[in-house]
Amino acid sequence: MLICQLCSGQDLTLLATHIREGEGRIVQCAGCGLIMQDLDWDSERLKLYYEEEYQGTNSLVTGQLQTPLKHFADRLLTLDPILENLSPLLRPGQDILELGCGCGALLHRLGGKAGRLVGLEMHSPFVDFMRQDLGIEAYTEGLDALGFHEAFDLAICIASLDHTPDPLAQLRSLWAALRPGGVLYLEVPNEEDALGQHLPPATREAYKTFFWHRAHLFYFSRKTITAMLAAAGFSSEVTCRHDYTLKNHLNWYFLGRPQASFLSGTVEIGLYPGNGPFEQGMNALFREMEPRFKALLAGTMSGDALCCVARKPEM
């Protein structure tokens, strides 16, 4: 029987029976509000999924099985908003751990002034790329297996906690890996984002089916991620940001479908491909609106990512 990981409740409400990949069950705890996928995968099944399936169905460019180098190059194009949030937390010589680090693009950007850099990633070709091409210490093993006790000043987890079958246990392991006074920077998809809340009914339903995703085992709101961090021993502050463009929002609003890929949905701002005066003028208008659009979503806590700065107490 599925039990809520946050409050141990068993009173679960069925929210959906279809997800992006087809049939699936999404349920919500009536006690605390945590949303989860009713999917019973053990650690071996999860590892197999990330080794053999995930990169093919979740490429940054839909339909392309990217090489680690191409994934690295494309991921570099999307990191500036994350780095902006991380900037106040960075100190020279910090030892930094990233959980679910992909191909290591963020750790690569953080190199130079940092001390030790360590990445954990389940997809072994990415780990090989980090070790051989980037010179980053990287592992496919889980955090507990590596025995990192109070080894890091800063831990980072970007859009990865919702992929783990036991997020509370994962947060407790991150807490143990941090030194006293250490900081965890965490991002999770926002279950209360604008697309899920404010689209017209027909396209909202299509978006929700797309939002429920085989790889996402949990779905967090500001309330539930704050409660889970507290249960793991962290004090936290939660803000919000938005990766996707106004163009992507309008694509969903009018057409009920995403753009071609994560990359196009996050970096393509202009609406028109032409170079005439009207096309250029319209694209300039969209460029002017883009920061206002993202500020609106951040200010109303309806962006696509919840951003958490979680602190381990000083001992």
Domains of the chain: 12-244+297-311 (3.40.50.150), 246-296 (no CATH)
Compute the mean pLDDT over every residue in the chain, rounded to the nearest whole number. 92
Q: How many other CB atoms are there within 10 angstroms of residue 47's CB atom?
A: 16
The model's pLDDT over 75-94, given as tens digits with 9 standing for 90+, comes to 998 899 999 999 999 999 99
Could you please report the per-residue DSSP string of 200-267? Answer: -HHHHHHHHHHHS-TT--EEB-HHHHHHHHHHTT-EEEEEEE--S-HHHHHHHHHHSS--S-HHHHHH
Does residue 247 have a pLDDT over 90? yes
CB of 160 within 8 A of CB of 171? no
Q: Is pLDDT of 191 > 90?
A: yes
Question: 112 or 154: whose pLDDT is higher?
Answer: 154
Mean pLDDT of 279-287: 96
Which tokens go with 60? Answer: 């940054």
Question: What pLDDT does 40 receive?
Answer: 79
Q: Which residues have C-beta within 8 Å of that of residue 48, sequence separation ≥ 6? A: none
What is the reported pLDDT for 263? 81
